[in-house]
Structures are given as C-alpha cells and as structure tokens.
C-alpha cells in the first residue's frame, strides 16, 4: 500500500528555528498546503496536544524543533537481557510506517511527529565525545524512535551524516530502515564505516504487519544498489514472528537475500523474537485489529516484557541461524534483548566484555 508520507496537515515550527537552513529545506519539499504555525515553548506545546494512539493520525502533524536532552544515548536495553552496546541519536521522533508490532505506539502518544533540525548541534556534541575517547569504538544509529530514512527526502540528513562520520574511524554509523529511500546515499561512495540496516521478514509479515513499508524485494534491490557503491549492509530479523511453516518461510527469506547480495557484503545480523509490554498489547489490539501477532502463547520475562516461551524462541533462532550459517560461517550474528541462557544456547557464546563486542563489530565491516 502506497501513502504519501510528506502530506502533512499541520506544521509547527519552534520560533528560534524559523529561518534555520534545515527548516527552510524541509518546507520547500513538503507537498500540499499545510497550515504552518510558530511556537515559543515546545514543552508547553507538546503538553497541550491531545493524546492520540494512531500512528497514522500522529504522522499528519509535523513539529520542527531542536534536539533535547542527551544527544548520544546508550540504547536502553532491557533489564536482565544482554545489550549489544549500541548508541542512538534521535533525529526523528515518530514514524509513519505503521508496523503493527512497533514498540513506539506504546509510549509515543503526542499528536505530532518530530524532526530535529539542529544537526550542527548534534555533530558538535558527538565530535566532542568521540574525540575525547579515541580508543573506544562507537556503534551509532538513528533508528530507535523513527525510521532512519523515511523522511530523508525532506531532510537530506543522510548526506550530512555520511560526510560527518567519514572523519571518525572509531565510529560505525548505521541507518536502519524498512524503506528503499536511498537516493541521497547513492550520491556518495561509502567512506567505509557507514552501514545501511534493513529489517527483513517473510512477505506474509510485510504484507500484513508492515503495510506502509516497502516490500521485502524492494529493500533487497536497494541493498544491492548500495553494495555496488561499496556500502556494507546490516540485516535485522527483528521481530521474528512464530508464523505457520516458519522454518521454510525464513529459509526462503535468507535464500532470497543472498540471491541479491553476498555474505561478504553483510556487516552484521541481529535476531530478536517478537516481544511486547502490556501497553503495546493494548495498542496492537486498538490500532491493528486484524493482526494475528498476538495469537500465540507468551510468558512474562524479568524485564516485564512478554516473549514466546524459551523453547519456541530457541527453535526460531536455531532455524534462522542454521540457514544463515549454510551461506557463511563467518557472518556476525547477535541477539537483541535476549537472556544470557538463550544467547549461549543459540549462538554458543556470551558477549560480556564491552571491548570485545565493539571489536567484533569493527572487524565485521573489514571482511
């Protein structure tokens, strides 16, 4: 299903960014005739907005403002579960792709999508942090609170982030996306430390639960084009969903991936089974009444999230890992928000030492 992600009804601009170059660039590319308003106090403005639960409704209203709080943040991880030492920059807050399983709908309820325009401030802070710690490897991404590329047509941020991170070889920067919006990236040859991560799932899940995202094959075509520009690709099987005939469905996904790109083109691969908080369950039932992702048995874990029973998770991981290793035993595979026991049983090792984790990722892009 195709929708216009840039057809906003209302645009709100923080007054001090009225004439900012990124504000003007974004406004010049927005279609239609949205109402434009200027605001003085962003916090008061957001508090005044009505609570909404529909991602589609939220995506009709856009706020252009400056980033707030800590700029380079450790991924919050999950209590009692292993974290992969990832850092995030929240360029965007909100996403129009409307995936039924998306955790964002459980805690983003303001009636507006945010694009932060002051990336010069972001670059200043990040440069200060990474230059003060030259021996530390930073793996950084922008896909936690919104898709990294869905608004790239408006912002062209990918070009500026590639230019910036090309100067810092102790950084690995990843764009995470479910789109094929790579036109800006293709203008640049890879500097070697930029990775484009694609979420991948069987077409049945894409069709039913990622309805506004690009198709699986469209993402693979984009990945192939990026490889031709010497970019490394990351693959995110997350969430893996316990569907009928999952063994064959995921085997086909993996076979299809490597008909487009080589295992040597892949920097790393993450695996994570579907999990939810009680609030996310309520939002799935409210927003996606036709979804079947909750039609299974789940158990509450130490972090208060519900997951498939351990036996089911191990089966799902085993079938994906086995099929991946059939193509290459050198692929770097890790689990997202999983317990130490499941890590060890699925992958045979525990990544407890931070420096070793970072070095694994750095070496992966040199293959």
Q: Tokens at residue 250, please?
A: 């995921």
| Strands of the 306-308 sheet, one edge to the other | 275-276, 306-308, 298-300
Task: Check whether 289 has a pLDDT greater than 50.
Answer: yes
Task: Check whether 143 has a pLDDT greater than 90.
Answer: no
For residue 253, the surrounding DSSP H or E stretch is helix 246-260
Report the pLDDT value the prediction gives residue 82, as an integer from 0 to 100: 67
Report the pLDDT value the prediction gives residue 76, as an integer from 0 to 100: 67
Task: Give tens-digit pLDDT for 328-354.
Answer: 999 999 998 888 889 889 988 776 655
Mean pLDDT of the chain: 91
CA dist., res. 214 & res. 97, Å (int): 9
Q: What is the mean pLDDT of residues 109-124?
A: 94
Q: What is the mean pLDDT of residues 6-30?
A: 96
What SS3 state is found at 53? coil
Q: With CA atoms as reference, report the closest residue to 154 among 68, 233, 62.
A: 62
Task: Check whether 120 has a pLDDT greater than 80.
Answer: yes
Question: What are the residue boundaries of the structural domains of the chain, listed by start?
Answer: 10-364
CA dist., res. 40 & res. 28, Å (int): 22
Report the pLDDT value the prediction gives residue 343, as an integer from 0 to 100: 86
What SS3 state is found at 85? coil
Task: Check whether 81 has a pLDDT greater than 90.
Answer: no
| CATH class held by domain 10-364 | alpha beta
Q: With CA atoms as reference, report the closest residue to 4 among 33, 38, 32, 26.
A: 32
Task: Check whether 358 has a pLDDT greater than 90.
Answer: no
CA dist., res. 317 & res. 301, Å (int): 18
Report the pLDDT value the prediction gives residue 13, as an integer from 0 to 100: 98
Report the pLDDT value the prediction gives residue 1, as an integer from 0 to 100: 47
Task: Check whether 67 has a pLDDT greater than 80.
Answer: yes
Report the pLDDT value the prediction gives residue 53, as an integer from 0 to 100: 78
Ranking 21-25, 77-81, 236-240, 254-258 by mean pLDDT, the lowest is: 77-81
Report the pLDDT value the prediction gives residue 354, as an integer from 0 to 100: 57
Q: Which residues contact 250 (CB under 8 A, 6 or more apart)?
A: 202, 237, 240, 316, 319, 320, 323
pTM: 0.94
Task: Check whether 324 has a pLDDT greater than 90.
Answer: yes
Q: What is the mean pLDDT of residues 233-246?
A: 96
């Amino acid at each position: 299903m195709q929708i216009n992600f840039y057809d906003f009804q209302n645009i709100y601009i923080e007054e001090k960014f009225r004439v900012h170059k990124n504000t003007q660039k974004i406004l010049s590319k927005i279609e239609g005739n949205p109402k434009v308003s200027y605001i003085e106090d962003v916090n008061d403005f957001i508090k005044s907005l009505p609570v909404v639960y529909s991602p589609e409704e939220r995506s009709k209203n856009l706020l252009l403002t400056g980033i707030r709080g800590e700029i380079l943040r450790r991924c919050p991880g999950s209590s009692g579960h292993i974290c992969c030492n990832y850092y995030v920059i929240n360029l965007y807050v909100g996403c129009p792709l409307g995936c039924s399983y998306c955790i964002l709908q459980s805690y983003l309820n303001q009636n507006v999508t945010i694009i932060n325009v002051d990336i010069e401030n972001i670059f200043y802070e990040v440069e200060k942090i990474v230059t003060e710690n030259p021996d530390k490897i930073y793996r950084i991404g922008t896909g936690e609170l919104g898709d990294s590329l869905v608004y790239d047509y408006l912002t062209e941020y990918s070009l500026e982030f590639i230019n910036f991170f090309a100067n810092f070889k102790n950084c690995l920067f990843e764009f995470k996306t479910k789109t094929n919006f790579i036109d800006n990236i293709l203008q640049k040859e890879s500097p070697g430390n930029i990775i484009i991560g694609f979420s991948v799932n069987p077409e049945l899940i894409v069709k039913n639960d990622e309805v506004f995202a690009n198709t699986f094959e469209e993402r693979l075509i984009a990945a192939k084009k990026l490889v031709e520009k010497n970019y490394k690709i990351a693959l995110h099987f997350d969430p893996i969903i316990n569907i009928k005939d999952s063994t064959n469905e995921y085997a086909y996904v993996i076979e299809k991936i490597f008909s487009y790109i080589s295992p040597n083109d892949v920097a790393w691969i993450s695996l994570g089974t579907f999990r939810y908080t009680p609030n996310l369950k309520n939002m799935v039932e409210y927003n996606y009444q036709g979804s079947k992702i909750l039609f299974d048995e789940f158990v509450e874990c130490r972090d208060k999230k519900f997951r498939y029973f351990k036996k089911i998770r191990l089966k799902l991981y085993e079938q994906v890992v086995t099929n991946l290793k059939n193509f290459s035993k050198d692929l770097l595979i890790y689990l997202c928000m999983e317990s130490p026991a499941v890590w060890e049983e699925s992958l045979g090792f525990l990544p407890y030492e931070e420096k070793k984790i970072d070095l694994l990722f750095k070496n992966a892009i040199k293959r």
